[in-house]
Structure 1
Amino acid sequence: MHSTDDSSTDDSSTDDSASAGPDRARAIWALVITSAAGFMAALDNLVVTTALPSLRKDLGGSLDDLEWTVSAYTLTFAALLMFGAALGDRFGRRRLFLAGLSVFTAASAAAALSDGIGELIAARAVQGVGAAVMMPLTLTLLTAAVPAARRGAALGIWSACQGLAVACGPLIGGGLTEHISWHWIFWLNVPIGLLLLPLARLRLAESHAPGARLDPVGTVLASGGLFGIVYGLVRTSSHPWSESLVLLSLFSGAALLVAFVLHEQRTRRPMLPMRLFRSRAFSGVNAASLLMYVGMFGSIFLLSQFMQVVGGHSPTEAGLRMLPWTGVPMLVAPLAGILSDRIGGRPVVALGLTLQAAGLALYAMVAATDVSYAAQLPALIISGVGMALYFAPAAHLVMSSVSTGEQGIASGANNALREVGGALGIAVLASVFSARGGYRDPQDFVDGLVPALWIGSGVVLLGAVAALLMPRGAGLDKDGQFGGQPGNGPEAGRGAALPERAGAGV
């Protein structure tokens, strides 16, 4: 869709120049606010992991209870992502972003004040609710504020902040727990949230999806289906796949998602229009995202333990040694966003996933009980560059493959698939690891790790193939064309969402 500036004639060049300054400032503020909020939401996926021994000492609880301090957040976050995006489309994206940020900040304070394991798990679940509303809207609000020609670069910075959260989650959690207290893992979010709330109210422009209506039946089916799938996958970390509750959760979740697809095809106002998946760009990038997270999260889960079990490093030391992989996106992702602006996201995503697969394969070849860190470093760096090349262009492809009015729910669906992919990757690769090896001794660990890494590499390589199946030019939307394809614009959807200000950059 063309903005007011895009459709202006030469006679309005003076007005364009006058509006460029305010528009640029608003875009910068949107980038700062959404990146900081996204950083907090991504950080809390991993920040608790290194604090579990301290939590057990202070609050008590069984091993299952401790696992639920991590899983409760993941579960509510994944199950409600699409619902949060739909609420933003219907009632205002800025308004719901503020609501989600408020819930997340308040729940963080409640987690910090918890004096029992049950209270902490409940607070973590509420944190996930706030993040589920907030996270998909960060991408929608940022896309609405930044002109299409610069959107890739902005999404690169936004993605780098997500990479920073992934890289620093275990380090921040371990450092705060070791030197201050585990309570500060959660107190950290409170001043950031309180600072972002007035900034978001004053600096972000409101937008809606005109004609958007809530789909109660679709919401229940989608949220219930995602809950069942993620709960079953999370439970496999401490129970066998054959356990009745695991099977019941997985099959029930799958059945609800099938019912959701059938309902969305028949209802007049679907929450997630199934016709979006007829677009090769939308289907391709979502398939690539799912496969990427299956391979990446499962591999990181095992390799972080390899550093400790086989390498003999502490959790903080292991996190530092993983930085060439998890930290590289902070440096490369902005460059990847700029590159996708120039040549389109398809080749950049495909290259990134190919490098990620190559890095995992190289790690599988060098893994041994006596492997040096220098021998592991090339695999870590290649994987890091690959991950960095994927993040920003993939986000750009999701948003440019649908009409403006459907970007909110598209972001929610993509985030939900990524969360499911992460949970599935940990469950599947951990099962491969357990079937071929274990924790008896370093050699036993390596025996399980190597086949799991080969499978992770193969899954990510399938993601690269899915990316190559997208149409050429996907992601090039500088002229108001979505996905680089004429005819896939706002008229194809529920209508374009115009930010409520003049001169918006979309």
Structure 2
Amino acid sequence: MSHVHPALHTDHPHTPPPPHRRLLLALLCVAQFMLILDVTVVNVALPDMAADLHLGREALTWVVTSYTLCFGGLMLLGGRLADVLGAHRTVLAGLALFTAASLVTGLATGAPMLMSGRVLQGVGAALLSPAALSIVTTSFHGAERNKALGVWAALGGTGSAAGVLLGGALTGGPGWQWVFFVNVPVGVAALAALPAVLPRRTPQPSRLDIPGAVLVTAGTAALIYGLVRAGDAGWSDMTAVLPLLGALVLYAGFAAAERASRVPLMDLRMFTRRPVLAGAFLMLVATALLIGFFFLGSVYLQQLRGYGPFATGLLFLPVAVATGVGAHLGSQLVGRIGSLTTAVAGLVLTAAGTVPLAWLPADGSVYARLLPGLVVATFGIGLVFVTAITTALALVAPEEAGLASGVVNTFHEMGGSIGVAVLSTVAASGIEHGAVAGFTRAFTLSAITAATSALIALVLVPHSKPQTTGGPHAH
């Protein structure tokens, strides 16, 4: 699940020699792998965290969403900072912040310290990811670049699969703190090795759209807070209504700021391009459902069914693999049968797989209904992921590919935040009181969302056959 820098450059004033290029790619991939891992690694650890730190459902939801919120909300700013300050400086600053924040999060003694650490991890990730991909793209050329981007793209499926397995192993072994501590030695080693191989490039003088970054991140934070509060206080309570209204005001402010800015963070005219709009929509839905499934499934298995963290991680392994297989097949299908057919087929499969989960039992074998349902649903999501990025990138002009990828990747992280917030709210009674009805309601909503999205995709997604070779992929 790799991120694509919103303004890729093709100049290469200081390309490292071949042996250094391979080491550079390896080190940047390790750093990116940690960022991807941290989206899913926490899911299996949530019940243990809740017990140790006395966290309620609201706080548990924020453990997942605060990271993806800052990662997505600030990623476009991170890409711009790489241009202004130099990608090598931005990579090192992002990696140092992410590593330090991982230590803080692992040492957390309560919700405030835990959330602060997760927020700082997200800021570090938003600095590191687009700058690292910018360096990969400018350090390799021709066939070598295609191979390097292929390795970068492959991190996505393996990262989510490794995340659930590693999260289960670490939580069941040394404890949940180690899902964060494990980043520290890796980050320190990468920080020690990277300065020797990072190419130095002259920064490009440019203005930063700080207001845009603040408004879009604050708007999404208000949206998620309102959604999460609705689960506890009800949809008519002012503590839920006011943040949701505030989100609309902040988003409107963001749109106005982008139109007025000479160097906007996000060119809103990109949304008049049907391929970009379709790609952003598909990415939002696919990520919301996938990260939501990991969240719901982890809590259901451990709180309701009594599974340990490691057993939960193992049970999710075929689910994560199904996502990767779906993405691999999707990259073949998009070129053969077209974006529209692949997207609709993926969403229909997701809906079909989720339908049995709407009748989840409180007992009985999870291998009879939960696991097959999630495998089919996430296989469908894999198809949708690839269609989202290839539609947005392959069907716009080459000079707009960087902007399009920035838009789609922002919707990727935002989708994870919003999906967990909504499904956690619908499943509130299940998460807090161990009632299976809360989980079945959340899975019912997921099935309806996938089916409705398939109908929207019929109208929105272009009927074309983009070629997927050689372009950067999103995770």
Matched, 1:39 2:39: no
User: Which deviates more, 450-459 or 432-441?
Assistant: 432-441
1:347 Cα offset (Å): 5.7
Matched, 1:448 2:441: yes
1:121-160 to 2 correspondences below 5 Å: 121-145=115-139, 157-160=151-154
1:404-415 to 2 correspondences below 5 Å: 410-415=404-409
**Other structure's SS at 1:327 match:** helix
- Alignment counterpart, residue 182 of structure 1, candidates 170, 173, 176: 176
Give the structure 1 partner of residue 319 of structure 2: 325
Where do 5+ consecutive residues of structure 2 fail to align?
1-7
**Other structure's SS at 1:47 match:** helix
Matched, 1:192 2:186: yes
CA contact (8 A) 1:296 1:460 kept: no
1:105 Cα offset (Å): 0.9
Render the CA deviation track for 1:388-428: whole Å, top value 9, x for unaligned: 33445544554556677766654443333223322332333
Render the CA deviation track for 1:234-279: whole Å, top value 9, x for unaligned: 4445443333233222222221212222332233322211222222
CA contact (8 A) 1:153 1:335 kept: no
Give the structure 2 partner of residue 469 of structure 1: 461
Q: Partners in 2 of 1:462 and 1:134 — Cα distance?
A: 37
**Other structure's SS at 1:242 match:** coil
Render the CA deviation track for 1:78-127: whole Å, top value 9, x for unaligned: 43222222222333333312211111012112333445553333222211
Report the residue type matching 2:461 in the other structure.
L
- Alignment counterpart, residue 422 of structure 2, candidates 428, 431, 446: 428
- Alignment counterpart, residue 379 of structure 2, candidates 385, 388, 401: 385
Where do 5+ consecutive residues of structure 1 fail to align?
6-19, 484-506
- Alignment counterpart, residue 167 of structure 1, candidates 154, 158, 161: 161
Pick closer, same or farther for the CA change 1:367–1:143 going to 2, 3 Å. Answer: farther
Q: Partners in 1 of 2:140 and 2:347 — Cα distance?
A: 26
1:94-133 to 2 correspondences below 5 Å: 94-115=88-109, 117-133=111-127
Give the structure 1 partner of residue 269 of structure 2: 275
TM-score (norm 1): 0.75
Pick closer, same or farther for the CA change 1:216–1:436 going to 2, 3 Å. Answer: closer
Q: Partners in 2 of 1:66 and 1:54 — Cα distance?
A: 11
Larger radius of gyration: 1
The count of aligned residue pairs is: 464
Percent identity of paired positions between Structure 1 and Structure 2: 33
Report the residue type matching 1:276 in the other structure.
M
CA contact (8 A) 1:170 1:319 kept: yes
1:285 Cα offset (Å): 0.5
CA contact (8 A) 2:102 2:121 kept: yes
TM-score (norm 2): 0.79
Q: Partners in 1 of 2:337 and 2:91 — Cα distance?
A: 32
CA contact (8 A) 2:351 2:446 kept: no
Report the residue type matching 2:38 in the other structure.
D
- Alignment counterpart, residue 360 of structure 1, candidates 354, 357, 369: 354
Q: Partners in 1 of 2:82 and 2:275 — Cα distance?
A: 24
Q: Partners in 1 of 2:430 and 2:166 — Cα distance?
A: 33
Report the residue type matching 1:427 in the other structure.
A
Report the residue type matching 1:456 in the other structure.
T
Q: Partners in 1 of 2:139 and 2:160 — Cα distance?
A: 25
Q: Partners in 2 of 1:472 and 1:95 — Cα distance?
A: 40
